Amino acid sequence: MLFLGLIAMLLCLNISHANTLNFYTGEEKFLNLETPPEKVDYYLDLKGTSGLKQLMLEISNSKGKIKQTIPLNPDGSFAVRYLIKTGPGNYRVNLFGSKSATSLSYDGLAYFDLLVTGSPPEQTGDTLNQKVLDFVNSVMGKTVGRGECWDVAQEALDSEGADWTRPVSFGKLLDPMKDKILPGDVIQFRTFEIKEKFSDGRTRTEILGAPDHTAIVYEVLGPLHYKLAHQNLGGKRIVQVTELNLNYKTSGQYWIYRPVPAFQKL
């Protein structure tokens, strides 16, 4: 009777069982991941190491899929908490990797299924603006990645586990006519041109994007008037600061994004 009573007690307890981590053929050599849980409330903790330059988490259900870059430490280790914002349900979690830190294509490494039982609390309004600025200041005058303009934003956001979608949706889309633009926001230009006229009759024309250019707001000088940090500008593949007044726009498009976190580092 005592034995049966113990069995009944165990059945009543909500015991967390280890999940099954399935590797794609041969990919276990690139990823060492602590066994994930089968069931979580609204966040997923991931801990492990990788020999790759980039790891990508893809979490999907019947409503769609979301991809986020997992921030790696210099030694390839990671310990992060991912907030599942899409609510309860059954999910498939895929892990992808790349040998290049700036790649837009990845190879499948492993996958597991996950039951999410809860919804996250209301958003706190956290941003990564200061961390983006700290990164920019740390690389000022240097070449980031390949020296492409995109590499600065990509490395700044990936290193902090930002919530963004490659290639150019860098976070929360802002309306500069309504929203306050802050240092650390990211601007994406497409075939953008300004023409500024001076009182002495001179004019200055500047084109950003052939067709695309990425920059980070370094300082706000006034409405639509910024100092920008960017590279691959004027033939220079180093991070530099220039001034741009969007009020002199003559053609093209631009979008401004607020960087927000997807992961917390544990």
Is 105 within 8 Å of 166 (Cβ atoms)? no
Domain 129-265 has CATH 3.30.200: no
Q: Where are the domains of the chain?
A: 17-116, 129-265
Q: Which residues pair with 57 in a beta bridge?
A: 68, 95
Q: How far apart are CA 194 and CA 192, in angstroms?
A: 7
Q: Residue 34, SS3?
A: coil
DSSP β-bridge partners for residue 14: none
CATH node for 17-116: 2.60.40.10
Cα–Cα distances in angstroms (integers) from residue 181 to residues 72, 193, 255, in the given order? 29, 20, 12
Q: What is the mean pLDDT of the chain?
A: 91
55-79 residue pLDDT tens: 999 999 998 999 999 999 999 999 9
Give the span between the Cα atoms of 259 and 58, in whole angstroms. 19
For position 104, what pLDDT does the model report? Answer: 81
Q: What are phi and psi of 262, to 5 degrees?
A: -110, -30
Q: What is the pTM of this model?
A: 0.84
Using CA atoms, how far apart are residues 36 and 152, in angstroms rounded to an integer? Answer: 32
Q: Which of 159, 160, 169 is nearest to 212 (CA)?
A: 169
For 128-156, b/e burial (b = at least 16 CB within 10 A) is bbebbbebbeebeeebbbeebbbbbbbbb
**Interval 163-199: pLDDT, tens:** 999 999 999 999 999 999 999 999 999 999 999 888 8
Q: What pLDDT score does 18 carry?
A: 62
The DSSP bridge pattern shows strands 107-116 and 39-40 to be parallel
What CA–CA distance (Å, rounded) separates 21 from 50? Answer: 15
- Confidence at residue 85, expressed as pLDDT on a 0 to 100 scale: 87
Q: Say if residue 120 is exposed, middle or buried (CB neighbours under 10 Å; 0-12, 13-18, 19+).
A: middle
Please give the pLDDT value at position 201.
Answer: 83
Which of 82, 68, 209, 65 lies closest to 149 in space, CA to CA? 209
> Quick one: pLDDT band at residue 102, thresholds 50, 70, 90?
confident
54 pLDDT above the threshold of 90: yes
pLDDT at residue number 128 = 95
